[in-house]
Chains A and B, each alone.
Chain A
Amino acid sequence: MAALGTPFGQMSVAQLQAGLAAKEFSCHEVAAATLDVIEEADAPLHAFLEVTRDAALAAADALDARVDADAFAQAGALAGVPVGYKDNMNLVGTHTTCASNMLESYVSPYTATCVAKTLQAGAVPVGKLNMDEFAFGSSTETSAFGPTLNPWDATRVPGGSSGGSAAAVAAGLVPVALGSDTGGSIRQPASFCGVVGVKPTYGMVSRYGVVAFGSSLDQVGPFARTVEDAALALNAICGHDPLDCTSQPCSVDFTANLSEGVKGMKVGIIPAFMEAEGLSAEVKAKVEEAAAKLEAAGAELREVELPNAKAAISAYYVLGPCEAFSNLARFDSVRYGYSDPGHKDLGSQYEASRAKGFGLEARRRIMLGSYLLSAGVYEQYYYPAQQVRTLITEDYMKAFDQVDCLLAPAAPRTAFKFGEMAEPAEMYLSDMFTISINIAGNGGMSMPVGLGAESGLPVGVQLMGPAFKDENMLRVAAELERIYGPAPVAPGFKAGE
């Protein structure tokens, strides 16, 4: 076993930028080395769907030309940092496939705001990352272009849907990647791959240019190996975007309170989550251990109830598919995307193109949404789901009246094997601890706390904060990082292993 990453890829943002500022190496050198390693080493891992060499080198050269050592600090929070983007994010001139045959040949004519913001902060865009098709899944197995492997164990999934983003960061290919989270798609793969993954409060990051799955649930966030790197990325991408009217202004420096410790903070434990059926003993033990260590570090532990959170999965599998059904209607073979040839009328072209262009899980969600929104059914499902949403949101509001942060499992278990979750409903349960926070809109993150006692695989604990106070959970995460040490780069594996 040998680590896949480059020396650069294994550095934190701060280490990279220190080297760049000291002219130990140039942005071009970092970019070129990163691209070379990705092109060679990523073949077995398959975290990347496209390597954007030209865009990366152009950005790196521009930075090299622009900044001298003194000015490097002003060049942006992510200056010179290689960043990968989940393949549902538009970057002009690159393919944005959503890991679907439907968009295999689609080239973005514009750039998503979250991507543009990282570029403004000096990021070097090295490529587009694998995912479950249209973000439907928890394992990247639904990617039309083949799954990503878990860099800790090639027989296991990296989680999903942002599996490529988590794996690329865990393998040390890039220090920072962006993913999106609709029901756990950042936190669960972060947990499976042993990296920091943050889903900010809904509205913190613009969704403009991110191909929508569930518009009221989707949120973009960073993957990194350190809390500080994640905070730097958040600083770059958060804030109001005039192109997304659900986005909110943000003036927080997420790195500001990372060193403050947790003394005096109230951290909530949700007993129902800890007793949930399906929660593995090793994950449960890790959460309890993390709680105890936080208490020892000065945090006050409290039990809080989220009485309606148990209905979250049911509500999610109504609201999510309804929105997805409508969001994916535009993929109709007329203006772009896969178009099945030879049809004489519009209806049969629609049907054949969508039947062949979309994979099984995408078709399942579209059909589910179409059914749930149909006359007579809508009233029985969509309304109650919205009511549940209100109740869960209120649950979290009440919980955060009592505590500053919640601590819970991120996923019920460590990474599972390919093909292990054959039943869709079984797969859906892997998001049982993450979905309710999407329903409520609050921020949540997965923080690595070492390896599971039984599996020897990474375990993440989930931290959740009050809406628009995401700095709370980052502060607790930084304490856990001091306790457990920074997330290690995955040991890696060779092709064929």
Chain B
Amino acid sequence: MQTLEEVLERYEAVIGLEVHTELTTLETKMFCGCKLEFGAEPNTHTCPVCLGLPGALPVPNKAAIESIVLAGLATNCDIEKHSMFYRKNYMYPDMAKNFQTTQGPVAFCMRGHLDLEVGGAAAKERHGLAGAKAGDAFENVTVTEEGYRAHVGITRIHMEEDAGKMVHVGGEEGRIAGATHSLVDYNRAGTPLIELVTEPDLRTPEEARLFMQKLRQIYLTLGISDCSMEEGSLRCDGNVSLRRRGSTELGTKTELKNINSFKSLHDGLLYEIRRQAQVLDEGGIIYQETRHWDPSAKRTIVMRVKETADDYRLFPEPDLAPYDLSDEFISRVRAKLPELPDDKAARFQEEFGLSAYDAQHLVEHRSTASFFEACMADADKKLAKPVANLIINDVTAWLNANADASLEDSALTPARAVQLVGLVDAGAISSKQGKEVFAAVLEEDADPKAIVEERGMEQVSDTGAIEAVVDAVLAENPDKVEQYKGGKMGLIGFFVGQCMKQMQGKGNPQLINQLLEEKLS
């Protein structure tokens, strides 16, 4: 198979996402009073309603409606005042009523968008940006200093209920194939679920990953879900198709299901793009099918071929009255919106003079954003950029390399971070030494100043002491001084080197330079 770069040279990948999020922070289920609890004893949180017993009726959870409106407002959606629930009819044992209560053509939230800041190596994956200047704009993309900004449309966010959980017994790894029987746990049945559907605006696996990360941060900030991909409270399906560069017709798409991490989303889409390209290059046909990403085998496997569109016989749910959300309700929900990652990034730019890219990076995780804020609470504003750099580069690299580590539990406190950045900024240590101190802080759980002292790293910035050395070096080399004054300016490096040598490398290079230049002029 060809590399992504080679494929995207000739094909455009068209990616759309469907994101299911359980509103795990609510107390009760969508249409009954059963408690929401992950991991409880099977079938202990059930009642006639979520078991679909004859005669039971749904009563909507008002808090869930507030949550979805929050999600819609936070993703720039229009809030539809008039919408209703529908019944999606299909038979499967995990759906006790054999219909899912969901929404119809009009969802609570319609026509939203999120903007993604893409930079670094990932920015090069987007085709056709080579040679463009910051500010150039085409399609859904605006070129930035660090890469580009992608505008991703959100078709809708609708409210629905989750199904129960099937456990297949006797087969391999709990798969249905080869199973002798299946069990159903209805604890999850009726969990409030919001489904966000994007426009097919994404073009690279990295954009898809960034979108999911950003969405997760928004939902976490709103507090509407614990967004655990592992426990299934945040689930994502990716649709991807290829088309020849220049073509406007959509190709046949495949749907990636059961994606349980951002990495799987990225890797699964990457594989799927490369696989489809190979099939197309060999003159083959892409079948509309559901595929499963197997992270250990690093490939996608067919789950189900969709020959015809499913007919879900959707019709308005007669047991639930249509919604008529008031302006007052919507503004009450709007007033509850916390500061969202984008707002925070804008504030970081405004307040601390950070670039859009840096600011976006900081707010990508709540922990890094709040760490930055904690650092800047007492620090000089001129340290904002170096503090941001420390977080974006050193801290992120360290976190990536140590999967189990968390910033909150690490030895790097905001005060230590500021102290470290301050030492570099004041010239007490070099930036190279700074990296060494950063590693030592985490390892030894000590203050940067203590480490610098202990290791004797501190630069000599005492003007008197440096002046003495400078005078001595100049006195020892009268011939070089003559040559310098005669125009051989390059000799400045020699004098600096000599001074540093006498000071065992601890002299502040800027001060040495400055004094040398004064004395030689």
Contacts and interface: CB of A to CB of B under 8 A. Distances in A.
Interface string B53-81: 11111111000000000000000000000
Interface string B298-327: 000000000001010111001111000000
Most chain A beta-carbon neighbours within 10 Å: one of B56, B58, B320: B56
Contacts of A329: 89, 91, 97-99
A90 B315 contact: no
A326 B313 contact: yes
Interface stretch (A39-47, A159-167, A370-378): A370-378
A215 B101 CA distance: 14
Contact of A378 (B91, B97, B184, B313): B313
Interface in A304-363: 322-323, 325-326, 329-332, 334-336, 346, 350
B188 interface: no
B91 A332 contact: yes
A325 B51 CA distance: 18
B52 to A, nearest CB: 5
Contacts of A187: none
A89 B52 CA distance: 15
Contact of A334 (B48, B59, B93, B321): B93
A103 B96 CA distance: 16
Contact of B48 (A109, A215, A246): A109
A258 B141 CA distance: 74
B56 A335 contact: no
B99 A109 contact: no
A87 to B, nearest CB: 11
B355 to A, nearest CB: 51
Given A96-B54, A208-B55, A335-B51, A215 B319 contact: yes
B320 A245 contact: yes
Contacts of A246: 57, 319-321
**How many B residues touch the partner, as a band?**
20 to 34
Contacts of A145: none
A382 B54 CA distance: 25
A210 B91 contact: no
B57 A370 contact: no
A236 interface: no
Interface string A184-221: 00000000000000000000000111111011100000
A287 interface: no
A121 interface: no
B315 A330 contact: no
Contacts of B321: 245-246
Contact of A374 (B96, B184, B313): B313
B60 A209 contact: no
Given A209-B56, A330-B97, A323 B318 contact: yes
A373 B54 contact: no
B55 A112 contact: yes
A244 interface: yes
Contact of B98 (A214, A244, A332): A332
Given A326-B87, A330-B54, A382-B315, A242 B59 contact: yes
Nearest to B311: A375
B59 A243 contact: yes
A207 B59 contact: no
Contacts of A242: 59
A51 interface: no
A106 interface: yes
A110 B32 CA distance: 15
A161 to B, nearest CB: 16
B96 A335 contact: yes
Contact of A373 (B93, B315, B319): B315
Contacts of A243: 57, 59
Interface string B102-126: 0000000000000000000000000
A114 to B, nearest CB: 10
Given A211-B55, A334-B93, A378 B60 contact: no
A98 interface: yes
Q: Is the interface of B mostly helix, strand, loop or mixed?
A: loop
**Category for how many chain A residues contact B:** 35 or more
A98 B53 CA distance: 13
A330 B96 contact: yes
Contacts of B91: 329, 332, 350
B311 A374 contact: yes
A109 B51 CA distance: 12
Nearest to B32: A243
B178 to A, nearest CB: 13
A208 B318 contact: no
Contacts of B52: 330, 335
Indicate the member of A88, A210, A216, A330 with the most B CB atoms within 10 Å: A330
B455 to A, nearest CB: 69
Q: Which of B48, B99, B318, B321 has the most CB of A within 10 A?
A: B318
Contact of A103 (B48, B54, B89, B98): B54
Contacts of B58: 245
A207 B318 CA distance: 12
A411 B56 CA distance: 31
Nearest to B99: A326
Nearest to B313: A373
Contacts of B53: 109-110, 336
Choose among A210, A325, A334, A370 the residue with the greatest number of B CB atoms under 10 Å from its CB.
A334
A330 B90 CA distance: 10
Contacts of B59: 242-245
A399 B212 CA distance: 56
Nearest to B59: A245
A208 B33 CA distance: 14
A370 B313 contact: yes
Contacts of A245: 57-60, 319-321
Interface in A210-264: 210-212, 214-216, 242-246
Interface string A373-405: 111001000100000000000000000000000
Given A216-B318, A245-B59, A326 B54 contact: no
Nearest to A90: B55
A89 B184 CA distance: 27
A375 to B, nearest CB: 5
Contacts of A216: 318
Interface in B492-516: none
A64 B52 CA distance: 37
A80 B388 CA distance: 79
Nearest to A245: B59
A325 B89 CA distance: 9
B440 to A, nearest CB: 62
Contact of A209 (B55, B93, B309, B313): B55
A106 B54 contact: yes
A103 B313 CA distance: 25
B93 A346 contact: yes
Nearest to A210: B55
Contacts of A382: 315
Nearest to B54: A211
Nearest to B94: A334
A182 to B, nearest CB: 12
A323 B57 CA distance: 14
A215 B321 CA distance: 12
B98 A212 contact: no
Nearest to A323: B318
A244 B60 CA distance: 10
A106 B97 CA distance: 16
Contacts of B311: 374-375
A416 B54 CA distance: 32
A307 to B, nearest CB: 25
In the A-B complex, list the 4 residue pairs whose CB atoms are closest, starting with the nearest.
Answer: A329-B98, A373-B313, A216-B318, A215-B318
28 contacts: A89-B55, A96-B54, A109-B48, A208-B57, A209-B48, A209-B56, A212-B55, A244-B59, A245-B59, A245-B319, A322-B315, A323-B318, A326-B87, A326-B89, A326-B99, A326-B315, A329-B89, A329-B99, A330-B98, A331-B54, A332-B91, A334-B93, A334-B184, A335-B51, A346-B93, A373-B314, A378-B314, A378-B315
Given A243-B57, A330-B98, A375-B311, 4 more contacts: A103-B54, A330-B96, A335-B93, A382-B315
